[in-house]
Amino acid sequence: MPQLSALLQPNGILAFSTFGTENYQELRASCGIGLEYLELKDYVEILQSDFKILESFGVRIPLRFSSTLALFKHLRDTGVNSLQRGFKLNKKLLTDYAVRFHNVLTYHPIYLLARKISLESKPKDSPSSS
């Protein structure tokens, strides 16, 4: 994140989205695969030394599919998935997923909007006593 700060002028705006820790949580639980994401509070903590957080929030969007196979086709068709190379679907995995998660896949986008703190508004270190 220091690189982002260096690119912005004082009072410049940083706006970005990423995914939160609950993104594809069902895949992680059923298949043991998935990408690792930070929690929203972690991004806030990382940014707060150089930025004033104007807005930060996450939403959970459960998508329901007609079948588990349709769910996996959705992942393939979007081109954004966390399936490892060589991952093979089988009937047991499809059946187990349907029973445990009722063909739901959760997206968890998070959004952050921040303003770079100007040098004048940054707290200065107190002078040391001599």
Q: What is the pLDDT of residues 13-28, one digit of tens each?
A: 999 999 999 999 999 8
Phi-psi region of 34 (alpha: psi -120 to 50; beta: other; left: phi over 0): left
The whole-angstrom separation of Cα 56 and Cα 54 is 7
Q: What is the pTM of this model?
A: 0.80
More confident residue, 80 or 69: 69
Residue 117 buriedness (CB in 10 A; 0-12 / 13-18 / 19+): middle
As beta bridge partners, residue 14 has 114
* Number of neighbours of residue 51 by Cβ within 10 angstroms: 22
